């Protein structure tokens, strides 16, 4: 019971979306989707460097396509679950290789969309377990990043907890992504069993004199609950200094490095390790 005006742009956008979705199928088979890794740098020298895997679509004709362009589309057409599993497998392959090279504890986190989670519920864990077992990934090494909206969309807390338990049972850790961007309910921390809290970039963009106080109390609360804290989108040195003072565990952001192709990440890590030694 509403009226909309037709605009050529709508048809054009639709057409572009459909074209991209057609390319998706072939690109998944051709492995045009690549893992880029962004360092998560520990503020404490004893911790091991971690990484977040971010997808890049490197199409043979269209060139590099960034997630903003296709993730919402894959969500809309309900194909994101396939890409998430593809990325998870790619990450397991990298982790397996690192382990063979003797790198213990160098964990990688990978994003998990809310749509397949909502549709499949805890059944989804089986698929992740099969891949994890295929590459002999030890428990606790790989984390899945979920946004709070993924958890809020469920009608009851018990279902969410069952899913989180399901992932824990198969040895995957869980990170709450983009905390501070939307609702950021502190109650969520007490309610759900998560391992890592990722403070969103939004905290640090318009920071004022009160921001450190808020961040400090979130970090304190998280630590009391045994949750590790990662700050993301950190671009400048004074933020690194403040976050280190506030006992934030890991820092991720352009200040250290943008997401890099795997070989470049490994080269970056080598110089980071030399510097730290
Ligand atoms: P996200 O998970 O919050 O990832 C962080 C995004 O912030 C990345 O953008 C990263 O490049 C960017 N970033 C990191 N440090 C900085 C910084 O210091 N400053 C600024 N301005 N930006 C920074 P990217 O790679 O374009 O990814 C965008 C979003 O796309 C991700 O946000 C995530 O929600 C989604 N995404 C990426 N890869 C995957 C994937 O494999 N699966 C799913 N489901 N979603 C993905
Ligand atoms: Ca993420
Ligand atoms: Ca994030």
pLDDT value of position 90: 98
- The alpha carbon of 272 and the centre of ligand 3 are apart by a number of angstroms equal to 23
> How large is the C-alpha radius of gyration of the chain?
19
- For residue 10, how far is the Cα from the chain centroid? 31
Residues 6+ apart with CB under 8 A from 215: 199, 203, 231, 242, 243, 246, 248
> Is any ligand 1 atom within 6 A of the Cβ of residue 200?
no
- The alpha carbon of 250 and the centre of ligand 3 are apart by a number of angstroms equal to 13
Cα–Cα distance for residue pair 270/277, rounded to 1 Å: 11
Phi and psi angles of residue 93, each rounded to the nearest 5 degrees, phi first = -65, -45
> Is any ligand 1 atom within 6 A of the Cβ of residue 177?
yes
Cα–Cα distance for residue pair 252/258, rounded to 1 Å: 9
Question: Residue 111: beta bridge partners?
Answer: 145
- The alpha carbon of 175 and the centre of ligand 3 are apart by a number of angstroms equal to 10
Cα–Cα distance for residue pair 260/38, rounded to 1 Å: 6
pLDDT value of position 184: 64
Q: Which of 142, 120, 121 has its CA nearest to residue 131?
A: 142
Which ligand places an atom closest to the C-alpha of 198?
3
For atom 15 of ligand 1, the residue with the nearest CA is 253
> Is any ligand 1 atom within 6 A of the Cβ of residue 116?
no
Instruction: Give the pLDDT of the chain (277 residues) as one tens digit per residue.
Output: 888 887 888 889 888 889 999 999 999 999 999 999 999 999 998 899 999 999 999 999 999 999 999 999 999 999 999 999 999 999 999 999 999 999 999 999 999 998 888 888 889 999 999 999 999 999 999 999 998 877 777 677 788 889 999 999 999 999 999 998 766 677 778 888 999 999 998 888 877 788 888 899 999 999 999 999 999 999 999 999 999 999 999 999 999 999 999 999 999 999 999 998 8
* SS3 category, 178: strand
- The alpha carbon of 1 and the centre of ligand 1 are apart by a number of angstroms equal to 38
For atom 44 of ligand 1, the residue with the nearest CA is 113
Question: Which two structure tokens, joined as six digits, stand for 245?
Answer: 């003072």
pTM over 0.85: yes
- The alpha carbon of 173 and the centre of ligand 1 are apart by a number of angstroms equal to 19
- The alpha carbon of 12 and the centre of ligand 1 are apart by a number of angstroms equal to 27
> Is any ligand 1 atom within 6 A of the Cβ of residue 111?
yes
> Is any ligand 1 atom within 6 A of the Cβ of residue 194?
no
Question: Residue 146: beta bridge partners?
Answer: 176
> Is any ligand 1 atom within 6 A of the Cβ of residue 86?
no
The answer to whether the CB of 38 falls within 8 A of the CB of 252 is yes
Q: 241, exposed or middle or buried, with CB in 10 Å at 0-12, 13-18, 19+?
A: exposed
Find where tokens 């403040």 sit: 242
Question: Residue 34: beta bridge partners?
Answer: 56
């Amino acid at each position: 019971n509403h009226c909309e005006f037709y605009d050529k742009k709508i048809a054009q956008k639709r057409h572009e979306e459909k074209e991209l979705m057609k390319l998706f199928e072939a690109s998944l088979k051709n492995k045009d989707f690549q893992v880029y890794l962004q360092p998560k740098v520990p503020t404490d020298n004893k911790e091991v460097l971690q990484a977040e895997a971010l997808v890049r679509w490197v199409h043979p004709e269209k060139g590099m396509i960034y997630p903003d362009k296709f993730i919402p589309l894959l969500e809309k057409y309900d194909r994101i679950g396939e890409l998430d599993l593809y990325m998870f497998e790619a990450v397991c392959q990298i982790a397996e290789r690192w382990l063979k090279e003797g790198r213990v504890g160098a964990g990688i986190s990978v994003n998990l969309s809310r749509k397949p989670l909502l549709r499949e519920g805890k059944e989804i864990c089986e698929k992740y377990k099969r891949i994890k077992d295929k590459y002999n990934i030890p428990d606790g090494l790989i984390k899945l990043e979920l946004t709070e909206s993924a958890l809020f969309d469920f009608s009851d807390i018990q279902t969410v907890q069952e899913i989180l338990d399901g992932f824990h049972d198969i040895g995957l850790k869980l990170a709450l992504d983009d905390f501070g961007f939307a609702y950021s309910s502190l109650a969520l921390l007490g309610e759900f069993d998560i391992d890592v809290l990722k403070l969103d970039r939004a905290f640090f963009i318009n920071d004022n004199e009160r921001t450190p106080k808020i961040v400090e109390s979130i970090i304190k609360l998280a630590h009391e609950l045994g949750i590790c804290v990662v700050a993301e989108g950190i671009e400048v040195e004074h933020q690194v200094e403040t976050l280190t003072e506030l006992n934030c565990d890991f820092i991720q952001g352009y200040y250290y490095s943008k997401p890099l192709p795997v070989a470049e990440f490994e080269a970056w890590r080598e110089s980071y390790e030399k510097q730290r030694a």
